[in-house]
Amino acid sequence: MLRKAICPGSFDPVTRGHIDIIERAARTFDQVIVAVLTNPRKSPLFTVPERLEMLREATAYMPNVSVMTANGLLVDFAREQGAQAIVKGLRPIQDFEYEWQMGMVNHDLDRDIETYFLMSRNEYSYLSSSIVRELASFGRDTDSLVPPGVAARLRAKFSES
């Protein structure tokens, strides 16, 4: 049986921490779909097409990874894609409660889809897209925090403002 997983997120922008979780999921599952979600509670810096493009560039070396957009409930998207798993990265403390709640809700909605939590590596434990956006907004270098090409897009985005 093909073991398929969904790695969801807003990826605004994708960070090296995101890529680490995607790589680890790609080593565990036969196929990984990176799902770009829209969060109505957030005001994104990058459009969905821009985020899809950045993710496709950043994951191009992983042959079992594809990138798609997802709307609606994540568990419904996972079911539509034939996935058996949702893979989420967890940073120390700040992510646990919310992600645990979402995992339990998803389990209640579809008991055939498991949620797997991967702990962030130490070097990424503080990293978030919002920190990257803030640093970039002040003209700070983000090359060590994001995949190649993303830092240039951040510089361009903030030079437009």
Active site residues: 18, 42, 91, 129
State the virtual CA torsion across 79, 121, 132, 41 in degrees, nearest 10: 30
- End-to-end CA gap in the chain: 49
